[in-house]
Structure 1
Amino acid sequence: MPDIPWSTPTPAAPDAEVYVMASRFETATLTGAVRFFLKAPGIIRQIRKAPGAHGVALRARVPRRTFLTLSAWEDRDALYRFARSEPHRSSSRAASTYMKESAFTYWTGPASELPLTWAEAERRLAEQETPR
């Protein structure tokens, strides 16, 4: 399945710090993966219009039932406002019925490093999941 490549809704000032979130979702069934994938474009469109959004991308591996998201925000509050707004709020609640696992990691970094890479997101997610 095709990925949704990085897009920049509102460019950050080059000297700004951005708040970054990477997530990994695994659905319990292939039907759940298809549902997740079909909802993804609407959520990406929502992010592209969200105040404080500086970047977003999705890596979809539907046959493996796995999805990665990567987004950059003006600050944590901008991310949380988005997460509590529709359609994300109700979509995430509905998705919880068919999710097997999910993982999230957050960090801040210079806007000059945007766009972010999948390698960085995967490294940080792996660190988050590794017992210390």
Structure 2
Amino acid sequence: MPDIPWSTPTAPAPDAEVYVMASRFETDTLTGALRFFLKAPGIIAQIRKAPGAHGVALRARVLRRTFLTLSAWEDRDALYRFARSEPHRSSSRAAAAYMRESAFTFWTVPAGELPLTWAEAERRLAERKQGH
């Protein structure tokens, strides 16, 4: 399945620090993975319109039932405002019914380091899982 590549809704100031979130989701079933995948474009579109969003990408491995997200934000509050808004809020609550595992990690980077790489996101998620 194709990934949704990095896009920059609003460029940050060149000297800004941005708040980054990487997430990994694994569904219980292939049906759950298909549901997640079908909802993803709408959520990505929502991020692209969200105040304070500086970047977003999705890596979809539907047949492995695994998804990675990567996003950059003006600050933590901008990310949390998005997370509480619709349709993300309802979609994430519905997804909990078919989710096997979810992991999140957060950090800050200078704006000049955008776009971020999947290698960096996966490294940070692996460190989080190992408890570092």
Question: In structure 2, what is the Cα distance between the partners aligned to 1:67 and 1:50?
Answer: 21
Query: Match for residue 125 of structure 2?
Result: 125
Question: In structure 1, what is the Cα distance between the partners aligned to 2:67 and 2:109?
Answer: 23
- Give the SS at the match of 1:86: coil
Question: In structure 2, what is the Cα distance between the partners aligned to 1:63 and 1:25?
Answer: 13
Query: Match for residue 56 of structure 2?
Result: 56
Question: In structure 2, what is the Cα distance between the partners aligned to 1:19 and 1:119?
Answer: 18
Query: Match for residue 24 of structure 2?
Result: 24
For the aligned residue pairs, the C-alpha RMSD in angstroms reads 0.5
Write the mapping of 1:23-102 to structure 2, written as runs, cut at 5 A: 23-102=23-102
- Give the SS at the match of 2:10: coil
- Give the SS at the match of 1:116: coil
Query: Match for residue 2 of structure 1?
Result: 2
Following superposition, the deviation at residue 131 of structure 1 comes to 3.4
- Give the SS at the match of 1:11: coil
Give the TM-score normalised by structure 1: 0.99
Give every structure 1 segment of 4 or more consecutive aligned residues whose post-TM-superposition deviation is greater than 6 Å: none
Write the mapping of 1:103-114 to structure 2, written as runs, cut at 5 A: 103-114=103-114
Question: In structure 1, what is the Cα distance between the partners aligned to 2:6 and 2:12?
Answer: 14
Query: Match for residue 116 of structure 2?
Result: 116
Question: In structure 2, what is the Cα distance between the partners aligned to 1:43 and 1:79?
Answer: 13
Q: Percent identity, please.
A: 87
Give the TM-score normalised by structure 2: 0.99
- Give the SS at the match of 1:32: helix
- Show CA shifts across 1:55-91 (max 9, x none): 0000000000000000000000000000000000000
- Give the SS at the match of 1:9: coil
**Gapped regions of structure 2 (runs ≥ 5):** none
**Gapped regions of structure 1 (runs ≥ 5):** none
